[in-house]
Chains A and B, each alone.
Chain A
Amino acid sequence: MKIRYLVQKEIKRRKLNFALCLLSVIVAVVSVCSVFTMLEIYDLRTKEIVQKKEQETKERMDSLEDDYRKITKQLGFNLLILPKNQNISDVYANDFASKFMPEEYVEILANTKSMLIRHLLPSLQQKIVWPEKHRTIVLAGTRGEVPFAHKAPKEPMMVAVPKGTMIIGYELHQSLGVKVGDKLRIMNREFTVQKCNESRGNIDDITIWIDLKESQELLNKPGKINAILALSCHCHGGNLGKIRDEVNSVLPETQVYEKGSRVLIRAEARDRAAKEAKEAIQAEIKQRKDLRKERENLAAIIVPLVLLTSVVWIVFLFMGNVRERKSEIGILRAVGVNEVSIMKLFLLKAFWIGIIGAFCGYVLGIGGGSILGGLFSTSLVNVPLFVAVIILAPLLSIIAAWVPAVIASRQDPAEVLKEE
């Protein structure tokens, strides 16, 4: 006969005592597992909410990005690449640069990989007095956009002005009564009016655009330009620094300026919207973290209280069991069963209560937590928690039964046997 057999038989005999002890362990394990499960569900929900909000923000930003790409293109060139020695104040004062740089710079940029800029347009502009009409005008020479060698070709924003033709600004063609097809002379060279621009409300209204080569000849600046207009997309915002670095790495004798434009303002608005969305997500995360912390704190009070109550309850039940088995222990001691074996009678029982309680408590805890948390998922099966419960529940049960087991083992058999 083994101690284990005696324990089995005793459990079968005193089912109520066993059931109450088991219930105590189950309640303790359920409280732990359900709290963990509910917190896990809370975390999953937080993740879900944040992911959803991030996705919404991304979709909104993607949509804005596309809008701004289109708007940017519609609003025209927003970058100005100028000679390095050009004073920017002069550019603001005169609306064009007074210094010059080689025309080949535009070819260098067009042949460079990984450029963040789009649509390169070299130009030569100068304010002159139109000798034939005695009017101050801006003469702008352009050769059309220079395509990038390493990028897919794009539809040009501005087409070249054919040789011998001109495009004339609104103020000029209105005041001079010029129409498309008219022939006009500038510095003794004849040009046919190809297009009369609509009013733009800026210096373009007194500008005449002609072929770059012809403008270089008229202005006596062969092979020179004084600006390269470019387009930078504001899809991602805040990349001017990178553009400057890129341009300066290939053209160190230049400087890059961004024109204060509606694109920039809108891009800033978009960036601000993105920032606000991010801040809103962070606020949501923080709020949920705070709420989780509150729940954790509450659990940190309730769970130990439940555990302590369970341990005390088991102690009382085992003490009752020891009292009930006084005669049994007395005779076992009389026939020579040692103290360790008497302790085993109780501790083995406590171990089984712990193991069975851990299994039942885990299943009920996960189930209960899922019901309370309103989420059923296999991801809630927490293996480390299961292992911890399987180890700790029997351990706690044994600790609770330890004192009663010691009392039982130290019981004086003579006291019991004398009581007859």
Chain B
Amino acid sequence: MIEIKNITKIYNKEGAEVRALDDYSLSIEKGEFVAIQGASGCGKTTLLLSIGGLLSPDKGSVVINGNAVYDMPVEERTVFRAKTMGFVFQQYHLIPYLNVLENIRVPALAAQGEVPEERLEMLIKTLGLKERINHTPAELSAGEKQRTALARALLFEPDILLADEITGNLDEKNVEIVMNCLFEYQKAGGTIVLVSHDTALCKRADRIEELTVK
């Protein structure tokens, strides 16, 4: 499903070379829930963005469903990403002038086809957003924002969900709602790559991949 082969990513920070990923390889099966754990600056987000086709590694390859992601032209990769992956980030990245319902529908801008209304309703219900659909992000709590971002990521049932520190700002109750939703998605055949330094949360995954600072 996901084959990461010997990827290296180097950043230049104020003239100094920082190796975020160094000859790193990882294989994830379809339907697997993998947690990537490690200290700050160990390259967790870099790995996630590389899998998501958003950050080209300096060396190595990322192959998803048999497609070498970085061999594709940019526009093709964009379409591939829209069809295959969903993203959730710690900072939610909700569009401030759209309400909850509109934010969830945003992937429709890139999707080839209609919004699956039944799934949209199901996600709103599952994530407890029914009462908040007309509210803008500024009127939501952190948990509601993250649930909205999760609903947006899962709307078109992507093959892979890439989640970066999604519970970092949430209370226990919201963590449970989010995690239950992730397990539901996994049960339906989805693959999850979760980046977190919350050990308790990572233990709930099928597998933990430890990244260390180089």
Contacts and interface: CB of A to CB of B under 8 A. Distances in A.
Interface string B92-116: 0111111000100111111100010
A335 B152 contact: yes
Contacts of A9: 97-98, 102
B106 A336 contact: no
A10 to B, nearest CB: 6
Contacts of A13: 96-97
A1 B81 contact: no
A336 B102 contact: no
Nearest to B87: A334
Contact of A328 (B52, B95, B115): B95
Task: Please tell me the size bucket of the interface on B.
Answer: 35 or more
B26 interface: no
B55 interface: yes
Contacts of A330: 93
Given A13-B96, A328-B95, A336-B83, A417 B105 contact: no
B37 interface: no
Contacts of B52: 334
Interface in B57-91: 74-75, 78-79, 81-83, 86-87, 89-91
B107 A335 contact: yes
Interface in A289-333: 327-328, 330-333
A136 interface: no
A420 B91 contact: yes
A332 B106 contact: yes
Contact of A337 (B93, B94, B109, B164): B109
A3 interface: yes
Interface in B186-203: none
Interface string A204-240: 0000000000000000000000000000000000000
A159 interface: no
Nearest to A418: B45
A1 B54 contact: no
A373 interface: no
A418 B13 CA distance: 14
Interface in A161-198: none
B45 to A, nearest CB: 6
Contacts of B91: 327, 420
A341 interface: yes
B102 A333 contact: no
A6 interface: yes
Given A1-B106, A420-B89, A414 B78 contact: no
B126 interface: no
A417 B109 contact: no
Contacts of B174: none
B121 interface: no
Interface string A333-357: 1111111010000000000000000
Task: Please tell me the size bucket of the interface on A.
Answer: 20 to 34
Nearest to B102: A1
Contact of A420 (B45, B81, B107, B109): B45
A200 interface: no
Contacts of B6: none
Contacts of B110: 332, 335-338, 341
Contact of A414 (B55, B86, B102, B115): B55
Contact of A6 (B55, B109, B111): B109
Given A1-B105, A328-B95, A420-B45, A333 B78 contact: yes
Contacts of A328: 93, 95-96
Contact of B81 (A336, A339, A341): A336
Contacts of B98: 6, 9
B8 interface: no
A11 to B, nearest CB: 9
Contacts of B46: 418
Contact of B107 (A3, A6, A336, A338): A336
A316 to B, nearest CB: 21
A12 interface: yes
Contacts of A331: 87, 89, 93-95, 106
B165 interface: yes
A332 B109 contact: yes
Interface in A2-33: 2-3, 6, 9-10, 12-14
User: Which residue among B54, B75, B91 has the maximum number of chain A CB atoms within 10 Å of its CB?
Assistant: B54
B97 A335 contact: no
B179 to A, nearest CB: 20
A17 to B, nearest CB: 12
B97 A336 contact: no
Contacts of B28: none
B189 to A, nearest CB: 20
Interface string A383-415: 000000000000000000000000000000110
B175 interface: no
28 contacts: A1-B102, A3-B109, A9-B102, A13-B97, A327-B91, A327-B93, A328-B93, A331-B87, A331-B89, A333-B54, A334-B52, A334-B54, A334-B81, A334-B93, A335-B86, A335-B87, A335-B106, A335-B109, A335-B110, A336-B82, A336-B83, A336-B111, A337-B78, A338-B75, A414-B54, A417-B45, A417-B49, A417-B54
* Top 3 A-B pairs, shortest CB-CB distance: A336-B82, A13-B97, A336-B110
Given A1-B102, A338-B75, 8 more contacts: A6-B95, A328-B96, A334-B93, A335-B81, A338-B78, A341-B109, A417-B49, A418-B46
Interface of B: 45-46, 49, 52, 54-55, 74-75, 78-79, 81-83, 86-87, 89-91, 93-98, 102, 105-111, 115, 152, 164-165
